[in-house]
Structure formats: structure tokens, C-alpha cells
Structure 1
Amino acid sequence: MIPLAELWIFIIAAFALVITPGPNMLYLISRSITQGKKAGLISLVGVVLGFLFHALMVSFGLTAIFMAIPYAFLVLKTLGVGYLLWLAFQAVRPSGKSIFEARTDLKPDKPGKLFTMGFLTNVLNPKIAVFYLSFFPQFIKPEQGTVLAQSLELALVQMSISFSINFIIVLSAARLSLWFNKNPSWLKMQKWFMASVLTGLAVKMAFTKVK
């Protein structure tokens, strides 16, 4: 299994990534504000199951890639570094939005549709697949066990963190959105803080080597 020291680095990375702007977070906050906490939580269940879909696909895919392509790690590491730097840029670009700048024009929907929309918002988001495929290999080492077992371990950790953070945000979405709108300077700080964390992770990833 993955050493605790490495796992803590992954936990920090997963936490930083889950609170950066993205379709999942924007949808959950918007839905919670427009239709209430219950609608937000139903949507969240769909989003989390969408993570499970990506996790299973990438877990089996990574196993095949590592077995078939000797230089797969280098390719995926390069993709991962580029992806993290792109996220950092997205967080601070002038036209970028904070996760707390939510839509307020969503119409009320029934539970089944809320769940389905949350699920599809995640499943059809190619950035999630890119994250799993490019980021996970940095923490997977063949000598620590099977690639499949390690990737599933990372997936469960990432899903747990995502659910926990999103759960808290769904419950307090309206108050958080109102507070940040009244304090725009904190929105700028949040964006630059996320960009700094993501850039630091990209640098660490760039120097990661296969043991």
C-alpha cells in the first residue's frame, strides 16, 4: 500500500483540487442556492458516483498502461504538470470565476433529475479523467503492491475528501456565497492561494521519479 507520508501529500493535493473552480462545484453551489440544501445533497450523491465511474475506468486503464508502455510514467507526469499549471492559471485569469460565484437561474428539478444531472456533470467532465490519469501515477510505485489496488486506494481517498468538502459547502452555500460577494478581496486571496498551491504541486510532480 501507499506509505503514509506520500498519502498525506496526496490528501493535501486532493483538498486543493476539490476547492478549485470547476463544473462540479459550481453546479452544486448553484443548485443548493436556488433549490435548497436537499437538492444540493441529492446532486452531490450523483457527483460522487460520477467520481467512482472515473476511478474504475482509470484504475483498470493505469494497470494496462504500466504493463504495456515502459515510458508511460514520464508521459503521464508531463501531462500532470501541465494540467496543474493550467488549473493554476484558470484560478487567477481575469475572466475566471470563483466557486462561490454561483448561477441563480436554475429551475427546480425532481430528485431523480437532480441525481442524474449531478452524475452526468461529473462523468462528462473530461478534466476529471485527465486528473485521475495524469495525477495518480505520481503516487503509485510497483514495489508497493498492485497498480490496481494503489489506484483504487487513491480514488477512495479522493472521493472521501471531495464528498466531505462538498457536503460542507452544500450545507453553507448560501451564506458562503453572500459573504464572499460582500468581501471581494477575499475572493482574490482565495484564487491566488489556490494558484500557489497548484503551482507548488506541479513543481513537486515535475521532480518525481520512478523508484
Structure 2
Amino acid sequence: MSDLISIFLPEWPMLAAFGVAAIVLAITPGPDMALFLSRAINFGRIHGVVSLLGAMTGILIHTAFVVFGVSVLITTAPIAFLVLKVVGALYLLWLAFSAIRAGHNFSLSDSKNAVPPKLIKSYWTGLGINLLNPKVVLFFITFLPQFVSSADPNAAYKLFSLGILFNLISLPMLIAMIYSADRLAVALTKSKWIGRAMNYGFAAVFASFAAIILTAQARH
């Protein structure tokens, strides 16, 4: 059993770091959260959940592309893979800086008087906001490879497992947010310190994580 786990998951310290990063990313306000809450408030919670499932599908698609691309780099260009990891760490630092600079910046679209769309449209909207967001694309390309080594023959399995794990960690928290959408939306839009605290927490976690990655690469 332990051998099977080692094939699909990284070591426990790295897995714990990934879990913390996933939690912080899931609860940090952004376009995807604004979509889920807007759909829940304007058209009902089921629309919020369905749009969330669309976004989760997008994450799995991003993960599949990352698995394919990183696997090619590991086997054909290990130096390029190392560069990708360093660039990824620097990108995490940039995200941390951007979160601090943004402070409080969260708004919801108001469509309460609009005709509720079909559920499938909410799903496609969630998928689209995830797949077509260049920040999400860049994030997954640079984020997931931080948790594998070029010397690991099971890197592809681990990458895809982490993408699934990201969804499993995010899903219950985001569903809870959707079911408390009215109160959460008021808190995020009216109380600046809540949004600021979330962004600062995001910045602290990712800056620390990027620093650890960069120092580890320097030692190599």
C-alpha cells in the first residue's frame, strides 16, 4: 500500500505544503469565486454549485496539459524543467506581491432581474472562466511542477494526482461558501479588512513557498 501511495503522491512534507497552498488559493477572492457567489445569489445555489463543477473540470483539463508538457520536459530537457521550476517560484512571488497591492478588490455582478439560465450554461460559464483565464493557465503550468522532481519516474502520476487532490480540497470549502453566499458576499464586498486579510494570507503563504523553492534550487 505504501508503495502505491509513493507512486501517486509526493512525500508528506511536500504534500502538506501543497494542501496549505490549495486551501489558501481556494478561499482567496477572485473571478471564479465571484462567479460562484453571483450565480448562487442571482439564480439559486444549484447554479453556484454547477458553475463550480465547471471550473473543477477546467482544473482537471489544465492538469492534463501540465502532466503531458512536464513529462516531455523531464524526459527531453531536464534543464528546461529546472528553469520552469525557478520561473514558477518567481511567479508565485509576483502573485504574492500582486495580492498585497490589490488589498481589497472584490465585486459581484447583479443579475437578480435576469431570466435564470439553464444549468448547462452555468456549467459552461464555470468551465470557460477557468479555461480561458490566462492567469489560471500560467498558475497551473508553474505551480504543479514545484511538487515533483525531474528524477522521479512517477512524476506524471503525481502531477495528475495533485490536480485531483486540488479539486478534492477546494470542493467542500467552496460549496460551503456557495451555501452561505448571501452573508459571504456582504462580508467580502462591504468589509474591506476581510478581503485584505485573505489576500495578505495568500501573499504570505505563496511568498514563503516560493522562497523555500528558490533556496532549495540554489542548494542544488
Q: Tell me if both proteins adopt one fold, taking TM over 0.5 as the criterion.
A: yes
- 2:77 counterpart of 1:69: yes
- Determine the C-alpha separation between the residues in 2 that align with 1:26 and 1:123: 16
Aligned residue for 1:141, secondary structure, equals coil
Instruction: Say whether 1:81 aligns with 2:89.
Output: yes
Aligned residue for 2:121?
A: 113
Aligned position for 2:66: 58
CA contact under 8 A between 2:45 and 2:179: conserved in structure 1?
yes
Match of 2:142 among 126, 134, 137: 134
1:95, distance to aligned residue in structure 2 (A): 7.4
Contact 2:53–2:123 (Cα < 8 Å) also in 1: yes
The one-letter code of the counterpart of 2:195 is L
Encode CA deviations 1:101-127: one digit per residue, 9 max, x unaligned. 322247431111111111111111222
Matches for 1:165-180 after TM superposition, within 5 Å: 165-180=173-188
Matched, 1:146 2:154: yes
Deviation for aligned residue 1:141: 2.4
Distance 1:35 1:138, change over 3 A: same
Q: Note if contact 2:42-2:111 (Cα within 8 Å) is conserved in structure 1.
A: yes
In the superposition, the TM-score normalised over structure 2's length comes to: 0.85
For 1:86, what is the secondary structure of its paired residue? helix
Q: Which runs of 5+ in 2 are unaligned?
A: 1-5
Q: 1:97, CA displacement in angstroms?
A: 1.3
The residue aligned with 1:205 is: 213
CA deviation string 1:71-120 (max 9, x = no partner): 1233212321232122223323257514xx32224743111111111111
Amino acid at match of 1:130: L
Q: In the alignment, is the contact (CA less than 8 A) between 1:88 and 1:194 conserved in 2?
A: yes
SS at match of 2:216: coil
When the two chains are superposed, the root-mean-square deviation of aligned CA atoms in Å is 2.2
Paired residues, number: 209
Deviation of the 1:50 alpha carbon? 1.0
1:17 aligns with 2:40: no
**1:5 aligns to 2:49 (yes or no):** no
3-state SS of 1:104 partner: coil
Q: Which residue of 1 aligns with 2:41?
A: 33
Q: Within 2, Cα distance between the matches of 1:70 and 1:40?
A: 42
Residues 137, 94 of structure 1: alpha-carbon distance in 2 compared, 3 angstrom cutoff: closer
- SS of structure 1 residue aligned to 2:110: coil
Once the two structures are superposed, residues 132-156 of structure 1 have per-residue CA deviations (whole angstroms, 9 ceiling, x without a partner) of: 2212222112554422111111111
Aligned equivalent of 2:3:
none
1:44 alignment partner AA: L
Does the 8 Å CA contact 1:138/1:208 hold for their aligned counterparts?
no
Task: Name the residue aligned to 1:102.
Answer: 108
Normalised to the residue count of structure 1, the TM-score between the two structures is 0.88
- Cα separation, partners in 2 of 1:69 and 1:144, compared to 1, 3 Å: closer
